[in-house]
């Protein structure tokens, strides 16, 4: 009995000592809740503001200077109103259709690779405390930061299309078309290319093209090919401006265009470097590439123009700069510096050909060369990414030593074809729906008078 009592006392004493230790060990090994990285969050908010500046005032001024004086305000209004409309549609249903989806394979449906769901309709469940993972496991930013950053991409993309149908399309028709195209083209392609569960859920379902391994760092397919093809289709279906190829339609203020282009260049640092979602060395690489590719494209366009036409124009230089910005977009964080320079130079020459040779050859009135710069530049960039991202060429593509330029090129080509076909089909259907309901064009007399007066009742210059 005494031995038993002694044994019980010893056990009690041991428990008294060890249980707090075990409890402490359990507490010490509990995983702390994730918190947003303040440095990354700050960089992403700065990037968001830079991308807003790309559209208003950057794109608005770039386009506004290229049209005739009687249509200046109409272009500014279409860009501003389009941006405002898409911003609202994004928070209502755009974000959830682009970036929500099944968390596990068991929850996935046949549509999961192509479009999101309505789980975050009206930003349900998205608040100041909700987080999203960046490209580094365990690194987070506020989900609202990601929402507003992606909002700026969604808003500038339809605004790009405005340039293809400038000076002749009804204001209401532009707005209706942009809303339809955003819903049925931009959102599905953004989901297919960019949606995944993050590094902590790498095995979860992902967008169709993301799952194939297509590389698009900042929007070569999602933004530029998508908008460029829609612009080409719209230019053809809406038809040419009255007097196209017969009357002088020279830009009325190249100073505005020059200022707009430089604002685009500065804002593009947020567009490309911000797409890394973090502030680190790769962010700096993306920013450097955005400078060097753009510089190479501007000089390549101007140099080729000097050879072909005997002069290097300011319009050519800034158009080349935009072409370089477009081309480096899908490769910004994937290319080495030398690869970015080559890619930009190629884009400058190809886009010049698209503007001065391809358009006159087929006689389509893409007023401000949306297809020539964004469509062709996006295609060059998307396909060229397969080459410049190769680690063997100092790139940063996934796969390391197993990276195959040929295999990646085929994947990139698949993404390009899907983006072209998808955007074109949606644009055709949307344009004919608008044409059948409210009509696409203004009467000829109102077009000759100018859209500033006929659509908005005011003039840019008095």
413-452 per-position pLDDT tens digit: 999 999 999 999 999 999 999 999 999 999 999 999 999 9
E strand or H helix that includes residue 226: helix 226-238
Domain locations in the chain? 38-456
Distance CA 229, CA 237 (A): 12
Lowest mean pLDDT among 59-63, 73-77, 99-103, 215-219: 99-103
Tell me the fold of 38-456: Ammonium transporter fold (1.10.3430)
Mean pLDDT computed over every residue of the chain: 94
* Confidence label for 107 from pLDDT (cuts 50, 70 and 90): confident
Per-residue pLDDT at 31: 73
Residue with tokens 């719209």: 234
Question: pTM for this one?
Answer: 0.92
Q: Report cis status (omega within 30 of 0) of the bond before 57.
A: yes
Q: Looking at residues 347-363, what average pLDDT do you find? A: 98
Rounded to 10 degrees, the C-alpha dihedral 10/13/15/16 comes to 180
Q: What is the token pair recorded at 142?
A: 């506020």
Per-residue pLDDT at 181: 99
Per-residue pLDDT at 32: 82
Q: Looking at residues 228-245, what average pLDDT do you find? A: 98
Question: What does residue 241 show for φ and ψ, rounded to 5 degrees?
Answer: -65, 155
Q: What is the pLDDT of residues 9-19, one digit of tens each?
A: 444 443 444 44
Distance CA 365, CA 230 (A): 13
Residue with tokens 């410049």: 388
Share of the chain above pLDDT 70, in %: 94
DSSP 8-state class, residue 132: E
Q: What is the pLDDT of residues 125-152, one digit of tens each?
A: 999 999 999 999 999 999 999 999 999 9
**Model confidence at 78: pLDDT above 50:** yes
* Confidence label for 237 from pLDDT (cuts 50, 70 and 90): very high
Distance between start and end Cα atoms, the chain: 111
Q: Which residue has the higher pLDDT, 25 or 278?
A: 278
Q: What is the pLDDT of residues 302-338, one digit of tens each?
A: 999 999 999 999 999 999 999 999 999 999 999 999 9
Q: What is the pLDDT of residues 244-295, one digit of tens each?
A: 999 999 999 999 999 999 999 999 999 999 999 999 999 999 999 999 999 9
Q: Looking at residues 229-254, what average pLDDT do you find? A: 97
* Confidence label for 203 from pLDDT (cuts 50, 70 and 90): confident
Per-residue pLDDT at 29: 58
* Confidence label for 119 from pLDDT (cuts 50, 70 and 90): very high
Q: What is the pLDDT of residues 84-98, one digit of tens each?
A: 999 999 999 999 999
**Model confidence at 24: pLDDT above 70:** no
Q: Looking at residues 232-241, what average pLDDT do you find? A: 98
With left for phi above 0 and alpha for psi between -120 and 50, is residue 250 left, alpha or beta?
Answer: beta
Lowest mean pLDDT among 72-86, 352-366, 398-412: 398-412
Per-residue pLDDT at 4: 44
**Model confidence at 8: pLDDT above 60:** no
Residue with tokens 């074109």: 424
Per-residue pLDDT at 400: 76
């Amino acid at each position: 009995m005494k031995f038993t009592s002694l044994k019980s006392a010893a056990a009690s004493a041991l428990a008294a000592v060890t249980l707090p230790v075990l409890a402490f060990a359990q507490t010490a090994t509990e995983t702390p809740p994730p918190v947003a990285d303040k440095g990354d969050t700050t960089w992403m908010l700065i990037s968001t503001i830079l991308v807003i500046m790309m559209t208003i005032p950057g794109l608005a001024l770039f386009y506004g200077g290229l049209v005739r004086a009687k249509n200046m305000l109409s272009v500014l209004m279409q860009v501003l109103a389009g941006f405002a409309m898409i911003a609202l549609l994004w928070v209502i249903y755009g974000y959830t259709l682009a970036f929500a989806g099944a968390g596990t394979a068991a929850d996935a449906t046949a549509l999961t690779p192509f479009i999101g769901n309505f789980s975050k309709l009206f930003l349900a469940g998205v608040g100041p405390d909700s987080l999203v993972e960046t490209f580094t496991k365990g690194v987070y930013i506020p989900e609202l930061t990601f929402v507003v950053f992606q909002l700026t991409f969604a808003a500038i993309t339809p605004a790009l299309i405005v340039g293809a149908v400038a000076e002749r399309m009804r204001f209401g028709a532009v707005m209706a078309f942009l809303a339809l195209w955003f819903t049925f083209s931009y959102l599905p392609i953004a989901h297919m290319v960019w949606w995944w569960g993050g590094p902590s859920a790498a095995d979860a379902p992902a967008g169709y093209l993301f799952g194939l391994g297509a590389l698009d760092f900042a929007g070569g397919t999602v933004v530029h090919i998508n908008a460029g093809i829609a612009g080409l289709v719209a230019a053809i279906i809406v038809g040419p401006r009255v007097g196209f190829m017969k009357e002088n339609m020279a830009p009325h203020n190249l100073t505005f265009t020059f200022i707009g282009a430089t604002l685009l260049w500065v804002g593009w640092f947020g567009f490309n470097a911000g797409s890394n979602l973090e502030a680190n060395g790769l962010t700096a690489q993306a920013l450097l590439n955005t400078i060097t590719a753009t510089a190479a494209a501007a000089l390549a366009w101007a140099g080729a123009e000097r050879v072909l036409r005997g002069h290097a124009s300011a319009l050519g230089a800034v158009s080349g700069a935009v072409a370089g910005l477009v081309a480096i977009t899908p490769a910004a964080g994937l290319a080495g510096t030398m690869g970015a320079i080559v890619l930009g130079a190629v884009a400058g020459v190809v886009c010049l050909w698209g503007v001065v040779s391809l358009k006159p050859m087929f006689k389509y009135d893409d007023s401000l060369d949306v297809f020539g710069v964004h469509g062709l530049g996006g295609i060059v960039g998307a396909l060229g990414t397969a080459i410049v991202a190769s680690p063997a060429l100092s790139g940063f593509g996934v796969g390391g030593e197993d990276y195959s330029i040929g295999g990646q090129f085929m994947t990139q080509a698949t993404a390009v074809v899907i983006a072209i076909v998808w955007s074109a089909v949606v644009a055709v259907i949307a344009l004919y729906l608008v044409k059948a309901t409210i009509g696409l064009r203004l009467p000829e007399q109102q077009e000759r008078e100018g859209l500033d007066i006929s659509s908005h009742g005011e003039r840019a210059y008095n």
